[in-house]
């Protein structure tokens, strides 16, 4: 597939890429453990082949699809995006993927479809975090987008990064990337995509609604109740340059996406 890939289809001008080693060894993927190094240490054993994804809900063509069949019709594109975690750190990562909109169109959303819900794999045997009795999240991990957000050209499903297949700890074999929202919206290791009429349940919102909203757009003006979102640490940092910088509205993608939220009070719909 790689020969057809459109390299650097979207670039991040003036931004240095985060090294692959850092992007693949500093992860929040609580299914594999609470510490940043846990996913890299524990995710290797997860079988990602064969993999299939349920597509259901308000669609004309529901069903369980093999991953290859989902990906095959699409030309892969490289998208170099900033990733801003809700914990106030950020990276710049070259993803390989295709627009979610293309996949959704092929599933033929019905007129009732207004939201898209996603679910991560549940596999306690290979995901030690799902066996922890002290985890504060419930499984499966769930996320969601409004349909217009999901159809936006910046929203992609990624199957690779840095020109290679996604490492398991980064959400192999299929993950979402929504660059203007906090990282937790970009759900990993997807097994279900449902189109719904009602706003879907999402894991973090139900865990702590006053801390994590459904929209979770990167917004320096709305603090997380426990820490400020005004600035971020661009990784990698070092002792002598913590690499602190100002966080941009919509993570710097305001020009492309601010229109989606016209007329909304983003301090309320955070």
- Distance in Å, CB of 101 to other proteins, minimum: 31
Residues 120 and 144 sit within 8 Å (Cβ to Cβ): no
134 binds other proteins (CB under 8 A): yes
- Distance in Å, CB of 158 to other proteins, minimum: 20
Q: How many CB atoms lie within 10 A of CB 259?
A: 10
In order of 174, 191, 200, 210, 255, the CA distances from 130 in angstroms are 19, 16, 22, 24, 39
Q: Cα dihedral angle (41, 43, 45, 46), rounded to 10 degrees?
A: 170
How many residues does the structure list for the chain?
270
Nearer to other proteins, 236 or 249 (CB): 236
244 binds other proteins (CB under 8 A): yes
Question: Binding marks (x or -) toward other proteins, 63..102, rule CB under 8 A?
Answer: ------------------------x-x-x-----------
30 binds other proteins (CB under 8 A): yes
For 96, counting Cβ atoms within 10 Å of its Cβ (0-12 exposed, 13-18 middle, 19+ buried), the class is buried
Nearer to other proteins, 106 or 233 (CB): 233
**What does the block give as tokens for 209?**
């609604």
223 binds other proteins (CB under 8 A): yes
Nearer to other proteins, 21 or 64 (CB): 21
225 binds other proteins (CB under 8 A): yes
How many residues line the site for other proteins (CB under 8 A)? 35
* Distance separating alpha carbons of residues 196 and 231, to the nearest angstrom: 35
Under the rule (CB under 8 A), what is the footprint of other proteins? Answer: 18-19, 22, 25-26, 30, 33-34, 36-37, 87, 89, 91, 129, 132-137, 223, 225-228, 230-231, 233, 235-239, 242, 244
């Amino acid at each position: 597939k790689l020969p057809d890939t459109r390299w650097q289809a979207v670039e991040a001008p003036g931004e240095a890429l985060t090294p692959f080693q850092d992007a693949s060894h500093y992860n929040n993927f609580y299914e594999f453990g609470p510490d940043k190094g846990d996913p890299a240490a524990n995710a290797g054993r997860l079988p990602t082949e064969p993999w299939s994804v349920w597509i259901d809900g308000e669609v004309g063509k529901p069903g369980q699809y093999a991953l290859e069949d989902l990906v095959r019709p699409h030309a892969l594109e490289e998208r170099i995006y900033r990733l801003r975690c809700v914990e106030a750190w950020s990276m710049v990562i070259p993803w390989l993927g295709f627009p979610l909109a293309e996949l959704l169109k092929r599933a033929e959303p019905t007129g009732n479809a207004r939201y898209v819900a996603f679910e991560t794999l549940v596999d306690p045997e290979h995901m030690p975090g799902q066996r922890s009795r002290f985890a504060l999240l419930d499984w499966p991990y769930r996320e969601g987008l409004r349909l217009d957000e999901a159809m936006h050209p910046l929203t992609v499903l990624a199957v690779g990064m840095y020109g290679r297949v996604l490492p398991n700890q980064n959400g192999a074999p299929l993950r979402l990337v929504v660059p203007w929202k906090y990282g937790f919206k970009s759900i990993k290791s997807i097994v279900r995509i449902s189109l719904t009429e009602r706003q879907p349940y999402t894991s973090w919102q139900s865990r702590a609604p006053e801390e994590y909203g459904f929209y979770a757009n990167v917004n320096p003006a709305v603090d997380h109740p426990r820490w400020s979102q005004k600035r971020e640490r661009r990784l990698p940092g070092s002792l002598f340059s913590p690499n602190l910088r100002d966080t941009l509205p919509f993570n710097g993608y305001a020009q492309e996406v601010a229109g989606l939220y016209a007329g909304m009070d983003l301090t309320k719909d955070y």
